[in-house]
Amino acid sequence: MRQASATRSVGAPLVSLVVMSYNQAEFIAETVAGALAQDYPNLEIVFSDDGSGDDTFALIERAVAGYAGKHAIRLNRNTPNMGFIGHLNHIFSLCRGELIVYNAGDDISLPTRVSRLMTVAQENPELLLIHSDAFEIDAAGARTGAINSRRDALDAMPLSRAATAMGLCTGATCAWRPEVMTRFGPIVEEPTFDDLIFCFRALMTGGVVHVPEPLIEYRVGVGLSNMESLRDLPLDAMEARTQRLLKKLDLRSATLRQRLRDCRTIGAAELESVVAQELATVDYGIRLLREPGFDRWSRLRSLGALRESLRVRTRLRKKLSARN
User: Which tens digit of pLDDT belongs to each residue from 26-66?
Assistant: 999 999 999 999 999 999 999 999 999 999 999 999 999 98
**Length reported for the chain:** 324
Would you place residue 321 in the very low, low, confident or very high pLDDT band (cuts 50, 70, 90)? confident
149-177: average pLDDT: 93
pLDDT of residue 135: 98
Beta-bridge partner residues of 175: 101, 130
Using alpha carbons only, give the angle 190, 195, 198 rounded to the nearest 5 degrees.
85
Beta strand 43-49 with 15-21 is parallel
Rounded to whole angstroms, the Cα distance separating 258 from 185 reads: 11
Q: Is the pLDDT of residue 301 over 80?
A: no
pLDDT of residue 58: 98
pLDDT of residue 236: 62
pLDDT of residue 230: 60
- pLDDT (tens digit, 9 = 90+) per residue, 233-283? 666 666 777 888 899 999 999 999 999 999 999 999 999 999 999 999 999
163-177: average pLDDT: 96
Q: Is the pLDDT of residue 67 over 90?
A: yes
21: domain CATH number is 3.90.550.10
Same-domain status, 220 and 246:
no
Same-domain status, 180 and 236:
no
Domain total for the chain?
A: 2
pLDDT of residue 7: 40
Q: Which residues of 290-304 are buried (b: 16+ CB within 10 A; e: fewer)?
A: eeeeebeeebeeeee
Q: Which of these three, 225, 247, 273, is where a domain ends?
A: 225
Same-domain status, 249 and 195:
no
Q: Is the pLDDT of residue 218 over 60?
A: yes
Same-domain status, 200 and 267:
no
Provide the 8-state DSSP code for 14. P
Same-domain status, 50 and 144:
yes
Domain housing 170: 2-225
Q: Which of these three, 225, 246, 271, is where a domain ends?
A: 225
Same-domain status, 147 and 206:
yes
pLDDT of residue 238: 66
Flag whether the pTM goes above 0.75: yes
Type and span of the H or E element at 131: strand 129-137
Would you place residue 172 in the very low, low, confident or very high pLDDT band (cuts 50, 70, 90)? very high
pLDDT of residue 74: 96
Rounded to whole angstroms, the Cα distance separating 323 from 233 reads: 9
Alpha helices in the chain (DSSP H): 28-36, 56-64, 83-94, 113-123, 151-155, 159-162, 179-182, 194-204, 238-266, 269-290, 303-321
Contact between residue 222 and residue 197 where contact means Cβ atoms under 8 Å apart: no
pLDDT of residue 235: 63
